[in-house]
Amino acid sequence: MNRYFRELSVTGALAIILLGLAAFAPAFFQPQPLLSLATREAPTLIVAGGMALVIITRQIDISVGSQFSVSGICAGLLAARGWPLPLVLIAAISIGALLGALNGLLVAGLRLPSIVVTLATMVTLRQGLNLVRQGEFVNLPDSIQWFGLSQAAGQWALVIFTLLFTVGLGVALRHIAAGRLVYAVGTDAEAARLAGISPQRVTFCAFVCLGGLTGLAAMMNLVQSPQIQPLSGQGMELKVIAAVVVGGVAISGGRGNLWGALAGLMLLACIAPALTHLHVEAYWEKAIQGGIILLAVMADGWRARKGGR
Amino acid sequence: MGRRPLPPVPAIIPLSPPHLSFAMKSRILRLTVAVGLILGSALSTRAAATKLVVAFLPKSKGNAYFISCKGGAEKAAKELGVELLFDGPTDSNAAKQNEIVENWITLGVDVIAVAAENKEGISTALRKAQKQGVKVVTYDADAMPDARSFFVNQATPEGIGHALMDDAARLLNQEGEFAMITATLTAANQREWQKYIEARLKEKYPKMKLVAVRPCDDLKDKAQSEATALMSAHPNLKLIMAICSPGVPGAAEAVKQAGKTGKVKVIGLGLPNENRRYVHEGVTDSVILWNTSDLGYLTIHAGVALAKDQLKKGAKEFTAGALGTFQIQGDNILLGKPFVFNKANIDQFNF
Amino acid sequence: MRTEPQPSPRDWPTRLLRHEMLLLYVLLAEWLFFYFAGTTVNRKGVLVGFGTLDRQFDILRHSCEIGLLALALTPIILTAGIDLSVGSLLGLCAILFGKLWHDGGLSLPLATTLTLILGGIGGALNATLITALRLPPLIVTLGTYSLFRGLAEAITRGAITYTDFPGEFLFIGQERWLGLPTQAWLFFTVALAVTLLVHRTTFGRSFRAIGFSPEGARYAGLPVARRLALVYTLAGIIAALAAIIYTARLGQAKADAGTGYELFAITAVVLGGTSIFGGTGSVYGTLLGVAAIAVLKNGLACLPVVMRMNAAEEMAGLLTGALLLFALAGSVLPKLWAAGRSRRSPPSSP
């Protein structure tokens, strides 16, 4: 109980909101809108999985939004040129991984602080993209819509894939040696080094994973609509970091897991539609999200103090 | 000329690292100055510009609406032999618009044409421009009347509001619930249109009900999520009216994905190209818009005429090149009636 | 916690100043380059562009708010903290100021004073969460980043914009006083105050000590919590002042005021040589960083080539990001190289 306090409390908060909605706005629970909501949030969840990896190794990446835009636009341009879907998918993931590798190289290779490195790459990538594209939309061919499936099938496929992937990643993180390395490095890099692990290599891999997953997420976003906007990833970094942290992944590294991140993301993602259904004005959305983040970290703080005594 | 006050330099120089000798330091300094000078002179264009310079400011420069305005503006600039500068924020940002205008003032442009993101905010910068002899016209969204000479009005807010509301009433047979998606709640022209839509609703269509107004921040993705939420929150919703151009395809995509094509209708202000697919699929019934390329064309013509003293306050008509004569109402140059694009005619337009 | 060796006290000012000197050279080269490449004579024979006094003053006016936020962040980053919420707090304070004056009917000086106090309270909220609960500043301020902006939107319902401020208030943001833009005087006053605080008082030394090692500082008898509370509250007050200047410059207060400013401010501080891990850095560096970014951004907008591409802002962003990466890499590469060499040739002692 104690060990998973944070994950349980977030799940509890989510359950309370869902129960409240069931009581006051049962219209929220219709299969089609819920499926749409899940489909729209699926790419964010994939990125959140990668972000959890990076934060567990005690780093952070605030350039994911820019990586998302860049890989999305590049993939979109390739698709518009008639590249077949599998190749576009591979290209999106590789571009993401490459951008992640750049961050990883600077952070792990040169031992620079990740928050500043990714701040710099965030600005550089975003402005570079704006410079080249001038904010223009890319029109996508019909053939890659929903991976060529029908819409309903595409939506189910995306959601199920995302859930399976998250579960898989979560299990791998806990039970496979490579996953445990991540925790080892985040808990105590020096101890990990003495145990024969290269913290640098693990950190680098975490960044590459996050980049690749961001590319994958961009692709999952791409197939959902006939046009792609260069601003599509703007603000994603904060949403993803907030979801991961609310879900109980400690920013000081070494602690947290993916089902916490899943619950955290669901909690934050439910707020906007919940407000619409409860007929509360949408302007409170950001303030409420901020409040939830603060409550989550305060819960951490209080527990740490109690535990410390 | 202007020496900008540098941060406290003298506090640093005496403390400079001891191992850099004085000679070495002065060499670095000389090198720095030389690099600056050489590169600077190489790129310098000191030849006096002879053309009139017209600067054209959109609300956000990636928006397809303004890109098509720019097309018309470029055509006009070519005809008139003036140089056109086109710059704007990548996102709709009022503070950035001010900075761009202030930059243009010191660059000595002759005419500034502005689509104002925020009416009062931009006016401080525009008044400053007028004080320095720059001619100012606004288009698409007006600034304060004292901050510009003319406003090129694509259609009166009344005309737009009534056209949209009447179209909605026609589709719903004058009864049922509908919702609206706007760009941002702060954009002046959106508020104005909303006002006339609501007034028309109250006056003529008592059986229709506006259940919600949602902002989409000029983002298509956001419009889509908002529309999805609206449909599930208001099961009796019959129509979504989007009054910003990214909002229409966003809402249409949401309706299509929800499988409510035909049950929830979409109308709005939008570009033919962005909506063609949905109009043909029957998701979007019609989009209303003026000819955006003509709007840019007319704006540049008006600005240049103003700078050449061919257009004066109190004029009743204005002739703009190939497009012919336009009416002037007060200080508004009117582009004409909005146009309704539907399945029958949308393929004839490409912008 | 810290494993890397601390530089000896005699060593770090040398290193620091070298960074600042380099930045000064970059700034100088930048300025000269734009002075010659960005100044032209227009059709009427008038000198226009970067070299005009007006342009120089515009640069100053446009960088005051971000400069103030950077000044507020310098002591915070010296203590190895961070504050992501300053931009949002700027927005909230602008709205509160508009509301107090417009709806509350308060006089301008009173509204200004109250806004500064409210800014301080916003900063104090960060401070309380960070010191009393010992939470990581990154996450706390990520939360308040969202919270402050959200409150600003909720108060105005996203729709209200406060305008029609009287001329004597707009004077702060749009006119000149004693030859300089009015807000520049406020900016220089704050800059002087922060410089004195960081470089000439024991407070400044305690910030660095906390940045190097909070535990060490605590054992040395420093009131760590109180010092941290001071820097975050001060940041709130400075953000409120920036909000007043922003409102006066644009003549409007709206909920989106200052969006994204925190990133520019952090960039300026780090570019100025302050280590994000805390402990080292200076206010001079921050001022140079702010100036370097502002000159780059405004200078590019004056270059004919860039103007024709209509991409001044993007190029400025791109170059700032690249400059930051180079500055970072430049600060560690020699160290890594030295480490690599010593590893390759092991000590020959028995």
User: Model confidence over B71-93: pLDDT tens digits?
Assistant: 999 999 999 999 998 888 877 77
Short-list C305, C297, C294, CA closest to C40: C305
Considering the domain delimited by B157-289, tell me its CATH architecture: 3-Layer(aba) Sandwich (3.40)
pLDDT, position A2: 66
Q: Is C31 on the interface with B (CB under 8 A)?
A: yes
Nearest residue in B to A141, CA atom: B277
Chain C residues near residue B189 by CB distance under 8 angstroms: none
pLDDT at B37: 61
Report pLDDT for C269: 94
Window from B115-119, B140-144, C44-48, C80-84 with minimum mean pLDDT: C44-48
- pLDDT at position A270: 86
When pLDDT is averaged across residues B234-250 and rounded to a whole number, the result is 90
pLDDT at B225: 84
pLDDT in tens, chain A (309 residues): 467 888 888 899 899 989 988 888 888 888 887 888 888 889 999 999 999 999 999 999 999 999 999 999 999 999 999 899 999 999 999 999 999 999 999 999 888 889 889 988 998 998 899 888 877 778 888 888 888 788 888 889 999 999 999 999 999 988 888 888 889 898 888 888 888 889 999 999 999 999 999 999 999 999 988 878 787 888 788 889 989 999 988 888 888 888 899 999 999 888 878 887 887 776 788 888 889 889 888 887 777 777 644
Tens of pLDDT along C19-43?
A: 888 899 989 999 999 998 888 887 7
Cα-Cα end-to-end distance for chain C: 32
- Enumerate the residues of chain A whose CB falls inside 8 A of the CB of residue B226: 276
Q: In whole angstroms, what is the distance from residue A120 CA to residue A203 CA?
A: 18
pLDDT, mean of residues B128-146: 91
pLDDT at C17: 60
% chain C with pLDDT above 70: 91
**Which residue from C minimizes the CA distance to A281?**
C157
> Which residues is C40 bridged to in the sheet?
C48
Give tens-digit pLDDT for B151-196. 998 888 888 888 899 999 999 999 999 999 988 766 677 888 888 9
Tens-digit pLDDT profile for residues B270-304 = 888 888 889 998 999 889 888 888 999 999 999 99
Q: How confident is the model at residue B10 (pLDDT cuts 50, 70, 90)?
A: very low
Q: Chain A residue with minimal CA distance to C92? A: A287
Interstrand relation of C39-41 and C47-49 (parallel, antiparallel or unpaired): antiparallel
Residue A229: its pLDDT value, please?
Answer: 79
Q: What count of other Cβ atoms lies within 10 Å of the Cβ of residue C340?
A: 9
- What does pTM read for this prediction? 0.84
A239 within 8 A of A137, measured Cβ to Cβ? no
Backbone angles phi, psi at B16, to 5 degrees: -60, 155
Q: Which pair of tokens denotes residue C130?
A: 């960070």
Nearest chain C residue to A302, by CA: C133
Contacts of C313 in chain A (CB under 8 A): 127, 130
Among B91, B224, B257, whose Cβ lies nearest the Cβ of A151? B257
Give the pLDDT band of residue B41 (cuts 50, 70, 90).
low
pLDDT-derived band of residue B321, with 50, 70 and 90 as boundaries?
confident
Spans of chain C below 70 pLDDT: 1-17, 158, 334, 340-350
What would the pLDDT profile of C188-233 be if each residue is shown by its tens digit?
Answer: 999 999 999 999 999 999 999 999 888 899 998 899 999 999 999 9
Residues in chain A, overall count: 309
> Judged by CB atoms within 8 Å, which residues 175-194 of C form the interface with B?
180, 184, 191
Under an 8 A CB cutoff, do C36 and B4 touch? no
Chain C hits for B96, CB-CB cut-off 8 Å, are 313
d(CA A136, CA B62): 5
The answer to whether C314 contacts A127, with C-beta atoms less than 8 Å apart, is: yes
Pick the CATH number of C51-328 from 1.10.20, 3.10.530, 1.10.10, 1.10.3470: 1.10.3470
Inter-chain contact B1–C47, Cβ cutoff 8 Å? yes
Pick from A112, A289, A294: CB nearest C332: A112
- Residue A17 corresponds to which amino acid? I
Q: Out of B62, B214, B258, whose CB is closest to A134?
A: B62
Q: Is B63 on the interface with A (CB under 8 A)?
A: yes
Give the Cα separation of C257 and C156 in Å (integer): 12
pLDDT at B42: 53
Token pair 């850095």 in the structure block, residue: C281
**In chain B, where are the structural domains located?**
53-154+292-335, 157-289
* Least CB–CB distance from C154: residue in A190, A284, A304: A284
Closest CB to C150: pick one of A128, A134, A290. A290
A33: nearest CB among B62, B256, B258: B258
In the three-class reduction of DSSP (H, G, I as helix; E, B as strand; rest coil), residue A306 is classed as helix
| pLDDT reported for residue B113 | 96
Q: Looking at chain A, which subunits does it touch, using at least 3 CB pairs closer than 8 Å as the criterion?
A: B, C
For an interface test with A, the pick among B257, B276, B283, B351 (most A C-beta atoms closer than 10 Å) comes out as B257
Q: How many CB atoms lie within 10 A of CB B351?
A: 18
Contacts of B212 in chain A (CB under 8 A): 276
Is any Cβ of chain B less than 8 angstroms from the Cβ of A150? no
Partner-chain contact A33 B277, CB within 8 Å? no
Distance between CA atoms of C98 and A29, rounded to whole angstroms? 41
Considering only CB atoms, A110 lies closest to which of C138, C153, C336, namely C336
Contact (CB, 8 A) for A144 and A75: no
Which of C:81-120 have CB within 8 Å of B? Answer: none
How large is the ipTM?
A: 0.85
Q: Domain extents for chain C?
A: 51-328
Q: Residues C72, C73, C75, C76: what is their CA dihedral angle, to the nearest 10 degrees?
A: 120
CA distance C179 to C176: 6
Domains B53-154+292-335 and B157-289 share a fold: yes
How high does pLDDT run on average in chain B?
83
Gyration radius of chain C's alpha carbons: 22
Instruction: Look at residue B58 in the predicted model and tell me its pLDDT.
Output: 92
pLDDT in the model for residue B30: 67
Task: State the smallest CA–CA distance between residue A282 and chain C in angstroms.
Answer: 8
| C184 with B5: Cβ contact below 8 A | yes
pLDDT at C2: 42
Q: Which of residues 85-124 of C touch A (CB under 8 A)?
A: none
Query: What pLDDT score was predicted for residue B185?
Result: 65
Considering the segment(s) A5-301 as one domain, its CATH architecture is Orthogonal Bundle (1.10)
Task: Choose which CATH entry (3.40.50.11750, 3.40.640.10, 3.40.50.2300, 3.30.70.270) describes domain B53-154+292-335.
Answer: 3.40.50.2300
